[in-house]
Amino acid sequence: MEAILELDKMEELNLKKLRNIGIIAHIDAGKTTTTERILYYTGKIYKIGEVDEGTATMDWMEQEQERGITITSATTTCFWKDTRINVIDTPGHVDFTAEVERSLKVLDGAVVVFCAVGGVEPQSETVWRQADRYKVPRIAFINKLDRVGSDFFGVCKEMKEKLGAKPLILQIPIGQEDQFKGMVDLVESKAIIYKDELGIKFEKTEIPEELKPLASKYRLQLIERLAEADEVTLDKFVHDIGIRPQELKRSIREATIKNKIVPVFCGSALKNKGVQALMDAIVDFLPSPEEVPPINAINPETETQEERKASDDEYLCGLVFKVVADPYVGKLTFVRVYSGVLESGKQIYNATKKIEERIGKIVQLHANKQNIVERVHAGDIAACVGLKKTTTGDTICDEEHPLVLEKMHFPTPVISRSIEPKTKMDQEKLSLALHRLQEEDPTFRVSYNQETAQTIISGMGELHLEILLDRMLREFKVAAKAGTPHVAYKETITAKVKSEAKFVQQTGGRGQYGHVVLEIAPAERNSNIIFIDKIKGGAIPREFIPAIEQGVNEKAQTGVLAGYPVTDIEVKLVDGSFHEVDSSELAFKMAASKALSDGLQKGRCVLLEPIMDTEVIIPDEFLGDVIGDLNSRRVQIKSIDQKGPTRLIRGNAPLAEMFGYATVIRSLTRGRGTYTMEPSFYAEVPSNIVEKIIGRH
């Protein structure tokens, strides 16, 4: 009965009272703990779960509970002050960065959690850049102020320096470390003092005498910053007219939605302090679906851009941002509805794949529990059951008014392993499991190596592949053996060359003739293969140009040094010739492939390896041993900082040298050291190591 009442309550809500938000952060900053507290205070759960005990509601997968980390983004719906909030708790570990990427694509706002001790960490920078890409308005929550070495103002400074953010401090902490007991609300000019361990009882009182000068300084700074962004506040500030808290809140809301500022809050989620004020901020400052710009999309029939407003009266348009294989209901397809209404039992049109599908039922989720609903309104998020061919990034819409939304950007895998079933019985099950996992995870790739007759799985890191292998065993009951990890090397050229090739065959009857001249030059890093058609005067007919480009792209999949994919080259088609009878697409494709191969041989090819941004946190006493070990791994150390009793080492590490480093760092520091890595760029492999790699190949 309670579930039905809650669904009725959902139906009645208007768009102004809806928030789609994500909780994003570096690993171990306290995202899941913060989300657990949000669920507790909104009455969604009655007992607070703890990440360290493996009882967190949002970490529902067995692997998440065992490791104490978030692997998959979990979705839930809760209510706060008559506003409905869809919350997505995202992973912090870089191996699962795709989960953050797809969540940010469909969210209207985000809460970025920072650790008051660790500050702005590598993954904090990554998620911040992802949020920048999608122009997501955000608020910051500086967590763990009860910890030794916490520094609220230090983190605000790092946000400016490292992220280029414009933090607007709305709270300052009362007390430090184990004396942390509340915060000063600069908007209301009141102190919030917590009275019990669960953080339910607190009182708003006068600001303590010793904090009044600091509070006055930051309140003045707050009004000055708002005056820069808002004319009404500027006018009152200049004429020294008092500004009421409600007027300040209006100004903060407008500036936050326009991404001009980032309101900053403080607290300790673990000690139940500051979360209610954060919930108020989500309602007060983050946008509703109506307040974000209308979604832009391409009409596939007219190739023109159209927009859809967040309204039930518009035609249906939604984006599939996640697919999950559920053991009970089959495939769950998560959809953000941008416009129109999605109804169960109705046909929808997949404009990306140009197919029709029927929705079996629609569910709203709380972690891995489901509530069935009849329809989903504009601006909302839900999961559909029954969509068989629809995958991540597809647009669903009204067939009479088709639209295709911009696809999501996912990073390229950097690590590979061979995989084979343990028994003949597992062979078919392995194929099914790999297909299902690939459907779910856009950063997981499966390929077949013809030379070695092996199936190769590729992903974002050792942990990523380890989790997927574990899931195969638990969810799909497939026993599989995995080979040692392999690095995703790439090849490129260092010199500009001209290459010419002909493909001629005479076998009686119609022959084959294709002739191309290519200019191949190094291109900028991360530019992949750039193909430019420079043919003039009809030397090669237009209909053969796509075949030439296809020949170039296919040959670029296997380089000439060690068979790795070729990247960062510019290929210009400058000349060639054709035969009126014998020329064909196949002939030009083969000629282009041969010309590229010859050009790569002449262009002084080099091998590139993925370099990782690495951060190692260790106690002071182990610094010498850890630095020595990192130097032996070709790590280029960029900085060594002191953070309380620990040292923070930042550097660039070749991925090939970092396999199994988790065990090494534990052994060097007696289990007290930790490290994080994320892909940064590709760099040339030193010549002595190239020889070993080519030898292995």
The pLDDT value given to residue 228: 77
350 forms beta bridges with: 355, 396
Q: What percent of the chain has pLDDT over 70?
A: 86
Average pLDDT, the chain: 82
> How far apart, in whole angstroms, are the C-alpha atoms of residue 629 and residue 614?
14
Q: How many CB atoms lie within 10 A of CB 137?
A: 25
Answer whether residue 102 shows pLDDT above 60: yes
Tokens of 641: 């900082």
Answer whether residue 60 shows pLDDT above 80: no
Collapse the DSSP code of 226 into the 3-class scheme (helix H, G, I; strand E, B; otherwise coil) and give the result. helix
Q: What is the mean pLDDT of residues 668-696?
A: 82
Q: Identity (one letter) of the amino acid at 435?
A: H
Find out whether 392 and 322 touch, Cβ atoms under 8 Å: yes
The pLDDT value given to residue 236: 66
Collapse the DSSP code of 289 into the 3-class scheme (helix H, G, I; strand E, B; otherwise coil) and give the result. helix
Answer whether residue 74 shows pLDDT above 80: no
Q: Per residue in 372-424, pLDDT tens?
A: 888 888 888 888 888 888 887 889 998 888 888 887 767 677 778 888 888 87
Q: Per residue in 233-263, pLDDT tens?
A: 666 666 556 678 888 888 899 999 999 999 9
pLDDT band at 365 (very low <50, low <70, confident <90, very high): low
Of 296-300, 454-458, 493-497, give the range with the top mean pLDDT. Answer: 493-497
> How far apart, in whole angstroms, are the C-alpha atoms of residue 274 and residue 94?
27
Whole-model pTM above 0.85?
no
Q: To the nearest 10°, report the CA torsion of 317, 319, 323, 328.
A: -30
Q: Which string of b and e fits 546-564 if b means at least 16 CB within 10 Å? A: ebbbbbbbebbeebbbbeb
pLDDT band at 638 (very low <50, low <70, confident <90, very high): very high
> How far apart, in whole angstroms, are the C-alpha atoms of residue 262 and residue 112?
10
The pLDDT value given to residue 63: 42
The pLDDT value given to residue 592: 94
Return the H-helix or E-strand segment holding 7. Answer: helix 2-12
- Enumerate helices (H) and strands (E) in the chain, giving the number of each: 17, 37
Q: To the nearest 10°, report the CA torsion of 590, 591, 593, 595.
A: 160
Q: Per residue in 161-208, pLDDT tens?
A: 888 899 999 999 998 888 888 899 998 889 999 887 766 778 888 988
Answer whether residue 359 shows pLDDT above 80: yes
The pLDDT value given to residue 64: 37
Answer whether residue 137 shows pLDDT above 90: yes
Chain-centroid distance of CA 433 in Å reads 24
Eight-class DSSP state of 431? H
Of 41-50, 253-262, 485-494, give the range with the top mean pLDDT. Answer: 253-262
